[in-house]
């Protein structure tokens, strides 16, 4: 602090308006001192009190005592005359009371009856609701039982259909396998017949000129009128149809081309026109192949190729 006073440049700058503030404070203190002095002086002023005492020459007498006033007792109350009862009025009042009592009793009875009826209606409504709930629950149980029965029936039917379809599939598979085996056996048999016929034809080719002339004549001439019918009857006897031809609907017609050797052995059978029934077409071709050899025509000759009509049911 001393260093700051020795070096005023480091002193803080003086606050503005300090002198004016000091002057105002001194003036206010002077005014306050003057006011206190005047108040003390006013309090210390002497107040002169004056006392006076009055005297009278006449003797004063005391006032006489006031006489006692005797209050008489109040007179007894006069008896109130009781009105004489009116018998007719009393009867009317009693009758009115009875009517009121009866009306109140009827009102209580009616209220009790209303309460009883209300309680009875509530019991009936509750019983109806309970019956409706019971019937609804019974209907739901019956419907659920029916639905479960239908579901079980549908499941049983579905399982039955699956079993039937599986059985049919097995049956078809067995039939196809049997058919394939028969076709294989039949093809082997036809192949053996063709081979035998070819061997026989080769043996016949080495015969003389007379045999060649006979063969040329057979090829150039056609069959007789009833030759195809006789061959159809012959082939009909060798028909093998599953279940019998009588189970075939209608009388379908299949045309089979037959190729024979010069000696009458059947070399080939070919379906030329279908009957519309695949089973009958197959049975007709197999019947021709199963015949193996046909008889000669009326002139003793064999037609190398001819078409024969086969029906499952012969006419007439």
pLDDT score at 218: 44
pLDDT score at 213: 42
Answer yes or no: is pLDDT of 8 > 60: no
pLDDT band (50, 70, 90) for residue 85: low
Q: How many CA atoms lie within 13 A of 170 on its CB side?
A: 5
pLDDT tens column, 233-247: 888 888 888 878 888
pLDDT score at 83: 63
Q: Give the DSSP H or E segment for 268.
A: strand 266-273
**R_g (Cα) of the chain, nearest Å:** 78
pLDDT tens column, 95-114: 899 999 999 999 999 999 99
pLDDT score at 150: 93
- Residues 6+ away with beta carbon under 8 Å from 148: none
Q: What is the rounded average pLDDT of the residues 80-100?
A: 80
Alpha-carbon span 167 to 156, nearest angstrom: 16
75 or 33: whose pLDDT is higher? 33
297 or 65: whose pLDDT is higher? 297
pLDDT score at 137: 94
pLDDT score at 306: 87
Neighbour-count burial of 310, counting CB atoms closer than 10 A to its CB (0-12 exposed, 13-18 middle, 19+ buried): buried
């Amino acid at each position: 602090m001393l260093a700051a006073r020795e070096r005023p440049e480091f002193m803080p700058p003086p606050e503005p308006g300090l002198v004016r503030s000091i002057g105002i404070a001194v003036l206010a203190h002077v005014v306050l001192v003057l006011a206190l002095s005047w108040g003390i002086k006013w309090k210390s002023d002497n107040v002169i009190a004056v006392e006076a005492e009055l005297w009278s020459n006449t003797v004063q007498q005391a006032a006489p005592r006031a006489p006692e006033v005797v209050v008489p007792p109040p007179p007894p109350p006069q008896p109130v005359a009781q009105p004489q009862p009116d018998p007719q009025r009393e009867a009317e009042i009693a009758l009115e009371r009875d009517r009121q009592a009866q009306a109140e009793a009827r009102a209580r009875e009616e209220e009790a009856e209303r309460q009883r009826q209300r309680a009875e209606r509530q019991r009936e409504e509750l019983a109806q609701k309970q019956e409706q709930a019971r019937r609804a629950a019974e209907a739901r149980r019956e419907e659920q039982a029916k639905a479960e029965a239908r579901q079980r029936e549908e499941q049983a039917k579905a399982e039955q259909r699956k079993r039937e379809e599986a059985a049919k599939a097995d049956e078809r598979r067995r039939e196809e396998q049997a058919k394939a085996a028969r076709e294989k056996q039949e093809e082997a048999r036809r192949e053996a017949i063709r081979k035998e016929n070819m061997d026989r034809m080769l043996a016949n080719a080495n015969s003389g000129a007379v045999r060649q002339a006979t063969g040329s004549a057979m090829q150039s001439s056609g069959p007789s009128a009833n030759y195809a019918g006789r061959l159809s009857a012959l082939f009909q006897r060798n028909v093998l149809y599953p279940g019998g031809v009588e189970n075939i609907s209608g009388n379908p017609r299949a045309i089979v081309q037959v190729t024979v050797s010069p000696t009458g052995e059947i070399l080939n059978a070919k379906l030329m026109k279908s009957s519309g029934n695949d089973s009958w077409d197959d049975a007709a071709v197999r019947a021709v192949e199963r015949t193996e050899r046909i008889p000669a025509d009326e002139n003793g000759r064999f037609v190398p190729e001819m078409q024969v009509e086969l029906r499952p049911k012969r006419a007439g």
